Amino acid sequence: MADMLTREQIEQLLARANDTEYTPDEFTIDAGELRALCSLALVGLAVQPRLSEEAPKDGTRILALWGGEWVITYWAKRPGFEGWQMPSGMVVKAYDRSAWQPVQFTSLPEPRT
């Protein structure tokens, strides 16, 4: 399990890094803090929105920007239909082909254990 930092710990680490009393040679970070910072960086990269054309089309649920709202959707493949599954209650103008799919997506966060 990766180390995690609280908001307070991140702010303290940032304050230490910005402290002008330290020279670069004097500033140290322990391995746990470094692991936690790397974990946060990876999470940040994972949640950056990407174009919907890059989204998985294997039934994986994603968080997608569709019609100006973030919704959970997935690529559906069944007889007579192949495409993004609209959330129930969502209205899309049939004449507007640009509204038939989400614009951006990001992965859903991993469930907490």
Task: Tell me how far apart the alpha carbons of residues 56 and 52 are, in angstroms, rounded to a whole number.
Answer: 9
| Paired residues of 3 in beta bridges | none
Tens of pLDDT, residues 22-73: 666 666 777 777 777 777 766 666 667 888 889 999 999 988 888 888 888 9
Q: Is the pTM of this model over 0.75?
A: no
